[in-house]
Amino acid sequence: MPDPELLLLDEPASGLDLPSREQLVSALDTMAKGNPGLTTITVTHHLEEIPPSTTHAMLIKDRRILAEGPVAGVLTDGLVSDCFEVPVAVGHVNDRWSATLRTSG
């Protein structure tokens, strides 16, 4: 499949160590940048696995869409906290997303 029109990925980095995960994310990003018409749908519970080329996101909670739209409007502290039912701080540094539990104090 040298030129796919669609990629459907379900937890593609599951079980990968950090270097392998980063290679996968980089490869997906390179593929997307090299083929702007390529639609990629990735299911993940880890924001760190989202390639920088990602334009849209959807949060699903209890089998319902909680939020959808441009990635920066969906991956917010409030929405991700609501989705996971824990207080989350969402970060976006060097075009990569991250999520950590917020701690009080």
Position 18 scores a pLDDT of 96
Position 5 scores a pLDDT of 86
What whole-number percentage of the chain has pLDDT above 90? 87
User: Residue 74: which of 64, 93, 59 has the closest Cα?
Assistant: 59
Position 103 scores a pLDDT of 84
Beta bridge partners of 9: 42
Summarize pLDDT for 46-71 with one digit per residue, the tens.
999 999 999 999 999 999 999 999 99
Position 72 scores a pLDDT of 97
Question: What are the chain's domains?
Answer: 1-54 (3.40.50.300)
- For residue 23, what are the contacts with CB-CB under 8 A and spacing of at least 6? none
Low-confidence stretches of the chain (pLDDT beneath 50): none
pTM score over 0.85: yes
